[in-house]
Amino acid sequence: MGYSGFQIIKEGLFGQKGWKPLWRDPAPKARYDAIIIGGGGHGLATAYYLAREHGLTNIAVLEKGHIGGGNIGRNTTIVRANYFLPGNQEFYSHSLKLWEGMEQDLNYNVMHSQRGLINLFHSDGQRDAFVRRGNAMINQGDDAILLDREGVRSHLPYLDFDNGRFPIYGGLYHPRGGTARHDAVAWGYARGADQRGVDLIQNCEVTGIDIENGVVTGVQTTRGAIRARKVGIVTAGRSGQVAAMAGMRLPIESHVLQAFVTEGLKPVIDHVVSFGMGHFYISQSDKGGLVFGGDLDFYASYAARGNLPMAEHVMEAAMTLMPMIGKARVLRSWGGIMDMTPDGSPIIDTTPTKGLFIDCGWCYGGFKAVPASGFAFAHLMATGQPHATAAKFRLDRFRTGVGLMDEEGTGSQHNLH
Amino acid sequence: MRINCPHCGERDRREFYYMGDAVAVTRPAPDAGPDAWDDYLHNRDNPAGDTRDLWYHEAGCGAWIVVARNTLTHAVHGATLAQKAAS
Residue type, B18: Y
* Interchain proximity B18–A299, CB inside 8 Å: yes
**SS3 at position A249:** coil
CB atoms within 10 A of CB A331: 12
The Cα A386–Cα A295 span in angstroms is 31
Gap from A311 CA to chain B (nearest CA, Å) = 12
* Interchain proximity A250–B43, CB inside 8 Å: yes
Where residue A295 falls among pLDDT bands split at 50, 70, 90? very high
The Cα A143–Cα A82 span in angstroms is 8
Q: Residue B26 class from Cβ within 10 Å (0-12 exposed, 13-18 middle, 19+ buried)? A: exposed
Closest by Cβ to B42, choosing from A301, A309, A342: A342
CB A161 within 8 A of CB A17: no
Expressed in angstroms, the distance from the first to the final Cα of chain A is 43
Tell me the HSE value of A3 on the side-chain side, using a 13 A CA sphere: 14
Residues B5-36 have pLDDT tens digits of: 999 999 999 999 999 999 989 999 999 999 99
Distances (CA, A) of A74 to A161, A276, A325, A375: 31, 23, 22, 22
Residues A322-346 have pLDDT tens digits of: 999 999 999 999 999 999 999 999 9
Give the whole-number percent of chain A exceeding pLDDT 90. Answer: 94
Which residues, listed in sequence order, are joined to residue B3 by a DSSP beta bridge? B11
The Cα A173–Cα A155 span in angstroms is 10
Query: Which domains does chain A carry?
Result: 24-77+182-251+344-416 (3.50.50.60), 114-177+253-340 (3.30.9.10)
| In chain B, where the domains are located | 2-86
A307 contacts chain B (CB < 8 A): yes
Please give the ipTM for the structure prediction.
0.95
Find the helix or strand (DSSP H, E) in which A133 lies: helix A124-140
**SS3 at position A351:** coil
Residues A194-224 have pLDDT tens digits of: 999 999 999 999 999 999 999 999 999 999 9
Which residues, listed in sequence order, are joined to residue B68 by a DSSP beta bridge? B52, B78
| Residues in A touching B53 (Cβ below 8 Å) | 299-300
Q: What is the 3-state secondary structure (H, E, C) of B17-49?
A: EEEEEHHHHCCCCCCCCHHHHHHHHCCECCCCC
B51 contacts chain A (CB < 8 A): yes
Report the Cα A183 to chain-centroid distance in Å: 12
Gap from B34 CA to chain A (nearest CA, Å) = 7
The Cα A179–Cα A272 span in angstroms is 8
Gap from A372 CA to chain B (nearest CA, Å) = 26
Report the Cα A223 to chain-centroid distance in Å: 28
CB A275 within 8 A of CB A320: yes
CB atoms within 10 A of CB A364: 18
In chain A, what's the furthest Cα-to-Cα distance? Answer: 66
Closest by Cβ to B44, choosing from A240, A299, A303: A240
Where residue A1 falls among pLDDT bands split at 50, 70, 90? low
pLDDT of B86: 76
The Cα B50–Cα B70 span in angstroms is 4
Q: Would you give the DSSP letter of residue A157?
A: T
- The domain defined by B2-86 folds into Folate-binding fold (3.30.2270)
Closest by Cβ to A303, choosing from B14, B53, B73: B73
| Residues in B touching A307 (Cβ below 8 Å) | 1, 13, 74
